Each structure stands twice: as C-alpha cells, then as structure tokens.
Amino acid sequence: MIILLLLSLLLFSSRLIMLSKSSEPCGLDGYFYAMEARSFMERGHLENFSLAPFYYVSGLLGLLSGSPILGVKIASALCSALLPVALFLLLNRLFSNQRAFALLASLVASASPSLALMAVNYLNNLLGLVFFLFFCLCILSFLDTPAILSGAGTILCAAGAVLSHPVTAVYLFVLFLLFLCSRLSRRLQIFLLSIAGVVAILALLFKGDYLRFRAGFSLLPGLPLLSPFFRKHLPVSVCLEMSLLFLLVYLFAFLYVIKKRTFSLLLLGIPVLYFPFWRLDSLDLGYRLFLSATPCGIALTCFFAAELFPKALGRQSWLRPFLAGVGVFLTFATITVYKPKQDPPYGLYRKVVASVDLSDDSLVIAHQGLNHVYTFYKDFRDALNYEPDFPVPEGRLWRLAYEAPESVIKRRYPAAVETGEIRSLGYGYLLIREKLWQDYLAWEDEPISRNLKNWYNPHSSRPRFVR
C-alpha cells in the first residue's frame, strides 16, 4: 500500500507537470472545461447544464486553487492518480496471492501514454473510467460479503460512471448484462441478449447517434499501429500501446480458455472493449473507444497473465525490480506525450475576442475553441460553434468570420462599416452581423461562397449526438 501511495503521488505530480507545460487550458476542449468550472465557481451552476461529475469537481478545486484553469488541471491529475489505485484494488480483490500482478497493472497504467493523452483531452471520459473500475471493485466486494458500505459504493460508482460519459455507461450496461446472463439458463441467455441488442439499437436511433455510429465502421479489421492516419496524428507510443493491448487481450483470452477448458460469458465483453472493425482514418469513434478501453485492457492483460504465468513475478524473479524501474521511468516519460503546440492557438483567440464588445443578450457564431474563449472572457456571453436552430432576434446574432475577403465585404456594405456592424478584428477575423454574412454568401460567386463554408465558419446546425 505504501508503494501504491508513492506511485499515485508520483503520477499526480508528473501529470500536473505535464499539464502545466501550457499556461492555457489543455487540449481541444480546454476552455470548455475551464468555462464550466468558472461558471460553477462564480455562479453556483454550470453554463451548460450537465450532471457529469468532472465539471463540479474541477469547479470545487478551482475554488481551492483560485483559478478555474488550474482547477481543471488538478482534477485531471487527480483522476489520473486514482486509476492505478482502482486497478490495484480490483485485481488484488480477484487474486490476493498475486499482488505483484496487481501492482504491475498499476505501473502500466501510470506509464500509459494513452491515459496521459486522455488526461489532456477527454476528462469526463477519464473520470468515468475511474468510477467504472471502482464500481467493479465494489460489486465484487458486495457479492462476496454483502454490506451497506459496499452496496452504497456500488450505487454511487455506477451513477458516477453513467453520468460521466456514454462510453462508461455502455461498459457498465454490458458488464451487468453479461454477469446477469451468466447466472441464467442458455435459453434465457439468448432471450435476454437479444432483447438487450434491440434496446441498444433503438436507443442509438432515438439519440440520433446512428449516422455517426454507422460511419465509424470498416469492412476490414485494423490496428492503430498499422493506420497511416494514426501514426501521422498520434504519438507512436500511443499507437503501439493501443495495438499491443488489443493483441494481448485477445491472445491471453484465447490461451486462458484453452488452459481452463471453459468459457465464461463475461469474455464476450472483450469485443465490446476492442472491436476490430472500427475505421481508423479519423480521430473519431474508433480512436475514442480504443483509448477508453486502455484501463480495462491493462486489467484483463494482467489478470490473464496471472492465471497463465503465475510464477513469472515470484519473489525471486528479476522481473519485479526491472519492471518497477521501467514503470517509474516511463511515468515521467509520459510528460512528453502532451505538446502544447498542438493545442488551438488560445493566446491568439484571446486577442481576437478582446476587442469584441457586444450586449449581454447577443449570440455569436464562432468556430470551436474560439467560441469557448469568447464565453470565458466575456462574462459568459453566449457563443455557438453551429448555426442556431432556434429563433434569435435579427439584431442580436453576430458572427466571427475567418479568412473572409474583408475589402470586398466592406465595399459592399459601407454603411454597416460606419455603424460598426462590420469590424475587422485582426489575425484574419471579421466581426459581422449574421444577416449581412448570409446576404454576402448569397451574393458572392458560388465557388468562393462554398469555400467559405468550412470548419472555421460554421454553416450547419448542431448534430443530435452533441446535444
């Protein structure tokens, strides 16, 4: 336990050092988390209503640290430090005579570049995984010796996992379903799994995720390390880790079934964690799910290794000090995973919004990242990175257009320039009333108009899966 505590402190420190490489919020949604933390600190509620616990935790830590940005970073580092603890306690509960493998799982999680990347970009998901692992621990304890404490822990952790992120909610649902089915007859198993499949499909269609989900599939299996797109846009260490865990989990599961000569229904959860037919040519669904599977992949690999090679980490094994040393070294090496230069240019965004002065009831359309910076520094004035699909009074809707031909627009609407309805902000950005922007696009030559409808100039309403 002392070693585990020291490991957690080491990981917390290294994550905080990593996230402090930038004075701005980290990651693609950094200012969104900071905005929600600041709203909770100053107003007692979130800017965008959500029950995800991370926002409230980061807001409370922001109150203690005096900064919403620092509060988010501390919360992320704390979640990272709790993951190895959860893995150790869970595996130690499964086999108390193989604590070395439980500690190995903690070391691997501490040194995981994939989890370091999650601590930068996917904070709700990260906390959801912590809740999920503690849920598995609590429910094991409750099934062994039912008690009020373990029962309450099971309920609280289940709620935390479900509220944190859809991925951990699915993990929880699948685990509960497979465990329930494992206690039933074969006919009831088939019936219950069929009903669950129908319910999952209907839920997917109802939530509007179907199109995104369908677009995430590939006809051929793939590994992150074999994807040119992944190798170009992700650290090689992340691609290597995700691929190794994928292969080891399937290989060890196969060897485990052969050795034990039995098949547990719980093994059907492995294809849910590591589905081999995701598209790996974009950083979307397949990428997020490969990352999310990392803690469970580490737990399964170490569990199967303990069952297949029980003497590999015996007291006299030279592997124990070697793996410990490598784990500590790689924990600090994960600091290099985060590269602030790959974040949006938040410093530039702050300069852009500094000269924008609109009324409190205005709504600004701006691309992702810039919209959150605007809301953060402009007293929570609304900004949206989609065209609104709800009525907005004509005089209150504005746009921060990027790389628009300013001279052409100003010559076409000279009166609007005089009244301040069109204003250059520098750095390629133009503040313009949305009505004038739409009128200009309709007037402009079609190829130019089409090119201006890009990611930097939002031109569609919000998809249902982000509502």
Instruction: Return all residues near 118 (Cβ < 8 A) that are at least 6 apart.
Output: 125, 126, 129, 291, 292, 294
pLDDT of 455 reads 94
Longest pairwise C-alpha distance within the chain: 84
Closest listed residue to residue 86, CA positions, set 168, 183, 177, 179: 168
Q: What CA–CA distances, in Å, run from 65 to 9, 62, 68, 70, 190?
A: 18, 5, 8, 7, 53
Q: Return the amino acid letter for 53.
A: P
Measured CA to CA, the distance from residue 52 to residue 284 in angstroms comes to: 21
Q: Return the amino acid letter for 314.
A: G
pLDDT tens for each residue of 145-202: 888 999 999 999 999 999 999 999 999 999 988 888 877 777 777 777 777 777 766 6
What is the pTM (predicted TM-score) of this model? Answer: 0.92
pLDDT tens for each residue of 273-324: 999 999 998 888 899 999 999 999 999 999 999 999 988 887 767 777 888 8
CA atoms 189, 192, 195, 197: torsion sign: negative
Lowest mean pLDDT among 86-90, 190-194, 318-322, 344-348: 190-194
pLDDT of 330 reads 87
Mean pLDDT of 443-467: 86
Please report which helix (H) or strand (E) contains residue 127, including its range.
helix 123-144
Q: How many helices (H) and strands (E) does the chain have?
A: 23, 5
> Would you say 249 and 274 are in contact if contact means Cβ atoms under 8 Å apart?
yes
pLDDT of 24 reads 97
pLDDT of 90 reads 94
Percent of the chain with pLDDT over 90: 72
Mean pLDDT of 369-379: 96
Q: What CA–CA distances, in Å, run from 417 to 218, 297, 374, 408, 437?
A: 50, 58, 22, 12, 13
For residue 136, is pLDDT > 70? Answer: yes
For residue 10, is pLDDT > 90? Answer: yes
The first and second tokens of residue 56, run together, are 């409230």
Within 10 angstroms of residue 274's Cβ, the number of other Cβ atoms is 20
> Would you say 422 and 431 are in contact if contact means Cβ atoms under 8 Å apart?
yes
pLDDT tens for each residue of 387-442: 998 888 878 999 999 999 999 999 999 999 999 999 999 999 999 999 999 999 99
Mean pLDDT of 91-111: 89
Measured CA to CA, the distance from residue 258 to residue 390 in angstroms comes to: 59
pLDDT of 351 reads 96
